[in-house]
Structure 1
Amino acid sequence: MTTTPRLTLTLTAAALLAAANLTLAHADDTDPSEPPGTEPTAAAPVKVDPTDPDLKLPEGATLADPKVLDIKSVVEDQSGEERREDTNADVTFALQAEVLFGKDSAKLGGAAKARIEAIAEEIKKQNATQVRVFGFTDDLGSSAHGDVLSKQRANAVQAVLDQDLNDPGVTFEVRGYGEQYPIADNSSEAGRKKNRRVEVSFPRSGG
């Protein structure tokens, strides 16, 4: 008589242990590294029926012309004084203002002309007839002063380019954008230095 309660208790404990093991085994079936709801759905069809009418163009329709994606290549010298950006359509040179001018000045320094001459050679190489020369500043000082200074610097670079190219068939677009369109953070001097620049851009040749 005293063994019956003990047997019942033993059977109950065994049942609970089996249930716990079943629950744990079920939990182990799921991958904890995958969030819920990201389990793979039914497999995608392996073959596509080429005769499916949904894959054909409607009568009279044509495919759009193929489009070449614009690929950009950026090369910056180690000193950060010059940056060249090439795309399928354009070439852009960005020269730091400190390389070209004195502080708060639009007068070109001695080293500037050699840099500009190298850009003129690339313009000739690309047979470009339209050249854009844009000046930019950092955000120190007044916005109006930056607008004037950036335009004066762009004008100075354009004048040397025009002299080097010596080609009446080349037209220029010259603008001063001041502190607009920064390429770096103006909160640091390193960033402001990058933003004080003159950019010269022109179309690439088809060859």
Structure 2
Amino acid sequence: MTNPGQPGDQQPYNQPHGTNQPYGAAPYPPQKKKRKVWPWIVIGVPVLLIGACTAILAGSMGGDEETSVTKASGTSTAAEAAGPGFPGKLDDDTVALGGDTITRDNLEYTVAPLTPVNTTFGNYLCSTVTIKNVGDKQNDFNSYIDWSLQDATGTIRDATFAPEREPLNSGEIAPGGQTAGDVCFDSRQGSPAGTYVVLFEDTFSLSSDRLAWVNTL
């Protein structure tokens, strides 16, 4: 009979009763460590973000088609030969005359000549803009945020809302479809004679290339 306290009656420290390891048996294998997930999250999220940004940059740096200008009927031959110019013209600007059509990224932008619009709420200069999708994919367009006007003094003003005019909205155009609306600019000081340039610059593109339509008032 073995008395309590003798070596044969002892249990390994912190080991439950009845789980004695047989004498001479191999030791219990160590428990596998659980792999931490958070390092993979920390690494994976930036990689995904970089990939998404790269795709956006690739789509923003340029379109599928080159920019081209289509002259409107009635444009003078002399103006076509000389090419329109204006103070502050940038090297990458694509310039046409008011009424001409500029095509870029499968969208045709036709900007009618500026027209003075006088209302009880103020004076404006407005142009009717027609945008046509000539590609085979749906394309989006923006409203006033993409448009501005350089007036005869060289001041560039953002487009604004004018009462009694149908504004150009934002949205998407299906292949072969088109939309139209007025883009207006404040003319509080009147419209002195000179060169006025309607400017288009895509707000959500990294390209700084502008489209410009020159008007003489």
Q: Shared fold (TM-score greater than 0.5)?
A: no
Between the two structures, name the one with larger relative contact order (CA 8 Å, sep ≥ 6). 1
Higher normalized strand content (fraction of residues)? 2
